Chains A and B, each alone.
Chain A
Amino acid sequence: MSDTLNYRQVIARAIADEMREDPDVFMIGEDIGAAGGAFKTAAGLFEEFGPRRVRDTPISEQAIVGAALGAAIMGLRPVAEIMFADFAGVCYDQIVNQVAKHRYMTGGQVTVPLTIRMANGAGTGFAAQHSQAGENWFLNVPGLKIVVPATVEDLYGLLRGSIRDNDPVLFFEHKGLFSVKGTVPTGDAAVLPLGVASVVREGSDITIVATQQMRHRSVEAAEALAAVGIAAEVIDPRTLIPFDDAAVARSLAKTSRLLVVQESPQDGSWGASLVSRMTTQHFTLLDAPPSLLSSPDSPVPYAGVLEDAWLPSVDAIVARAKELVAF
């Protein structure tokens, strides 16, 4: 049995399926109860599971994340919602100093089976404080896992996988992908493990690695490149920690050319880290300097023309790929 749902709808589906199976799973966040979440990503959950398991909170991000941590070390499996990834700034201490380190600092006496979901990314006109690619803020904090799904199938499988994971997972839902449709198989077979990349499109001339919105643009770019005789392989890592380096290296063994496309400034980003790892560990596979196509080093601007220009476009991906292939 399978259903067609969009990216936004499948979030509640995945959580509900876990909640039905495991009575220790509960939700905590702002306006997730009767209102169904600011983006309606919790639609129907309050009606099915009630206020004990779908817990509305005041506007108190530090308390949301900290309470989820406390409940997690007592053996529950909280799914906390931070409405926009940008608001992780308000509870950064709780995430990086408390959640990420509790297991380590106690010498492994506890596990932290906690999922923190956040709406991510630019392109929707929400301006500088509601549009950031929050995943990059946490790459340098061992103890956290980071998930960045781009499709309905991946979102469903990885969200269930994250809730089942015994470590803290930051789960980023891209606002620009809410209306993307897909087919959701039901049942445990759809649950995906963290750390396995997906080869979205095969090719032998160049490897393009991208996530979320940029993964979709990279597929479009690959189609345009195919029309001019360039076979691009598109890889979506799907999770940034753990990162499936082996999948990228396998692809480079065929293509010898690496292009990473990301929606964020370049420094301190997952793309920069990937380029660094591939260059230092797989230098001999490369026939051209790896390339990182990023956003400019500026906050996300409001005006439509400026925000459009801030995000790497399909044309920019095509142009950069052609340069690399011609190198």
Chain B
Amino acid sequence: MTYHPVNPTLADPLPADALELLRSMYEIRFFEDEIMGLFSQNLVRGSTHLCQGQEAVTVGVCSALSPGDTMTCTYRGHGAVLAMGAPLDRAFGEILGRAGGLCGGKGGSMHLADVSVGALGSNAIVGGHLPTTVGAALAASYRGTSEVSVAFFGDGSTNIGAFHESLNLASIWKLPAIFVIENNQYGEYSTLASTTPIERLSDRAASYGMPGVFVDGNDVIAMRSATKTAVERARAGEGPTLIEADTYRHSGHSRSDPAKYRPEEEVKSWFARDPIVQLRNAIEASGGADAAAEVERTAHTDVDAARDLALTWPEPELSAGMEHIYS
């Protein structure tokens, strides 16, 4: 696997906020582990799509954003919404269907949103949110302000019409949008190769006249670095960028998928490149072992406390069902 040169990376001296990135990734990892647990206790309804293994993508990208920037994502979006700064307890509350959840319990696992931190919405229709990010970028361009909008989506989503229409429109209008493919190698149970005739999804950028960058999605520093370049370009009015993050989901597509279709060797090699372990190793190598251990401990405690708190919250009042249909 060759990645386009993106500097700096984990191989270089670490940035001052490395522990902050580690904390954010641990929180997402533990959050997802807890959701899995709550699901098996029947406390989560419908389906749930977890992102363990992909934390470096969302944390790296979102750490390059500024207040006012916005983000849209998919049903596999718990990590992205938390990386934008949504509170853990209200994220738990939403997935548990509680009144105190981010969306009052009306959205659920596939629809986390916290507009106050720029998380505009998680979408359960593949490709459905890419035009929304184009529109959020259009709003900034229209008003002459500097906010950018990021859309996260999967490798499989690059075969739906909305992907192509969105990239084309964002490019001709030079909108401050950043399109991030979380290439976790599978769309549901299908390999990328079985649904897509090219190997490098970032090559698709060429048809839309924008840069396409292929990045090690398990390297949080490389992800941030690539995003910074895209943000600068966007804010300078030069238009969108397509970033392909090479990564892997540790679990199956959704709660009911044991992911038996993945070769054992492949799974092993990706687990050996766990994005959290890689960052932690780099921190330890630069003398931060104790601090890293402390970050892990507090992340765990914080996630557990948030879960316990959300579990005490009541279910929504029945009248809530008829609220927020119109303004």
**Chain A interface residues toward B at CB < 8 A:** 30-31, 34-35, 38, 56-62, 86-87, 89-90, 124-130, 296-299, 301-307, 309-310
What is the CA–CA distance of A310 and B106 in the complex, to the nearest angstrom? 12
Q: Which one of A57, A126, A128, A301 has the greatest number of beta carbons of chain B within 10 Å?
A: A301
CB pair A306–B46 under 8 Å, yes or no, is no
Is B123 interfacial (CB 8 A cutoff)? yes
> Which of B45, B98, B322 meets A298, CB within 8 Å?
B322
CB pair B124–A129 under 8 Å, yes or no, is yes
Q: Which residue of B lies closest to A297 (CB)?
A: B325
What is the CA–CA distance of A59 and B189 in the complex, to the nearest angstrom? 12
Q: Given A34-B189, A299-B325, A301-B105, 11 other A-B contacts at CB below 8 A?
A: A60-B161, A125-B47, A125-B108, A129-B123, A298-B321, A301-B316, A301-B321, A302-B97, A303-B106, A304-B315, A305-B315
CB pair B45–A61 under 8 Å, yes or no, is no
Interface code B90-126, partner A: CB below 8 Å = 1, 0 otherwise? 0000000110000101111111000000000001111
Q: Which one of A57, A89, A90 has the greatest number of beta carbons of chain B within 10 Å?
A: A90
* Chain A nearest Cβ from B158, distance in angstroms: 9
Is B87 interfacial (CB 8 A cutoff)? no
CB pair B159–A60 under 8 Å, yes or no, is yes
Residues of chain A within 8 A (CB-CB) of B128 are 90, 129
Residues of chain A within 8 A (CB-CB) of B195 are 56-59
What is the CA–CA distance of A57 and B162 in the complex, to the nearest angstrom? 17
Residues of chain B within 8 A (CB-CB) of A124 are 45-46
Residues of chain A within 8 A (CB-CB) of B157 are 59
What is the CA–CA distance of A59 and B125 in the complex, to the nearest angstrom? 11
Query: Could you list 27 examples of A-B contacts with CB < 8 Å?
Result: A30-B188, A34-B189, A58-B160, A58-B187, A59-B159, A60-B159, A60-B161, A90-B127, A90-B161, A90-B162, A127-B46, A128-B107, A129-B128, A130-B110, A296-B321, A296-B322, A298-B322, A301-B105, A301-B106, A301-B316, A302-B97, A302-B108, A304-B45, A304-B97, A304-B315, A309-B318, A310-B321
> Which of A56, A125, A309 meets B194, CB within 8 Å?
A56
Residues of chain B within 8 A (CB-CB) of A309 are 318, 321
Q: Which one of A35, A90, A297, A303 has the greatest number of beta carbons of chain B within 10 Å?
A: A303
The number of A-B residue pairs with CB atoms under 8 Å apart is 122
Q: Which one of B187, B318, B321 has the greatest number of beta carbons of chain A within 10 Å?
A: B321
Query: How many residues of chain B are within 8 Å of chain A by beta carbon?
Result: 40
What is the CA–CA distance of A30 and B187 in the complex, to the nearest angstrom? 10
What is the CA–CA distance of A307 and B46 in the complex, to the nearest angstrom? 11
Is B320 interfacial (CB 8 A cutoff)? yes
CB pair A87–B125 under 8 Å, yes or no, is yes
> Which of B103, B124, B156, B261 meets A59, CB within 8 Å?
B156
Is B7 interfacial (CB 8 A cutoff)? no
The verdict on A89 contacting B159 (CB below 8 Å), with A58-B196, A296-B322, A306-B105 known, is no
CB pair A125–B46 under 8 Å, yes or no, is yes
Per the 8 Å Cβ criterion, residues 279-327 of B in contact with A are 315-316, 318, 320-322, 325
What is the CA–CA distance of A57 and B111 in the complex, to the nearest angstrom? 26
Is B145 interfacial (CB 8 A cutoff)? no
CB pair B105–A58 under 8 Å, yes or no, is no
The 7 residue pairs across chains A and B that have the minimum distance between CB atoms: A125-B45, A302-B108, A303-B97, A125-B46, A58-B159, A303-B105, A35-B189
CB pair B98–A89 under 8 Å, yes or no, is no
What is the CA–CA distance of A50 and B199 in the complex, to the nearest angstrom? 25
> Which of A127, A297, A298 meets B111, CB within 8 Å?
A127
Is B190 interfacial (CB 8 A cutoff)? yes
* Chain A nearest Cβ from B162, distance in angstroms: 8
Q: Which residue of B lies closest to A87 (CB)?
A: B125
What is the CA–CA distance of A80 and B127 in the complex, to the nearest angstrom? 20
Residues of chain B within 8 A (CB-CB) of A303 are 45, 97-98, 105-106, 108, 315-316
CB pair A127–B107 under 8 Å, yes or no, is yes
Q: Which residue of A lies closest to B98 (CB)?
A: A303
What is the CA–CA distance of A193 and B308 in the complex, to the nearest angstrom? 55
What is the CA–CA distance of A59 and B127 in the complex, to the nearest angstrom? 9
* Chain A nearest Cβ from B172, distance in angstroms: 22
Residues of chain B within 8 A (CB-CB) of A306 are 97, 105-106, 316, 318, 320-321
The verdict on A59 contacting B187 (CB below 8 Å), with A127-B46, A127-B108 known, is yes
Residues of chain A within 8 A (CB-CB) of B261 are 34-35
CB pair A302–B160 under 8 Å, yes or no, is no
> Which of A35, A38, A127, A305 meets B124, CB within 8 Å?
A127
Residues of chain A within 8 A (CB-CB) of B159 are 58-60
CB pair B190–A56 under 8 Å, yes or no, is yes
What is the CA–CA distance of A298 and B326 in the complex, to the nearest angstrom? 10
What is the CA–CA distance of A305 and B98 in the complex, to the nearest angstrom? 10
Residues of chain A within 8 A (CB-CB) of B106 are 128, 301-303, 306
Residues of chain A within 8 A (CB-CB) of B160 are 58-61, 90
Residues of chain A within 8 A (CB-CB) of B316 are 301, 303, 305-306
What is the CA–CA distance of A303 and B111 in the complex, to the nearest angstrom? 12
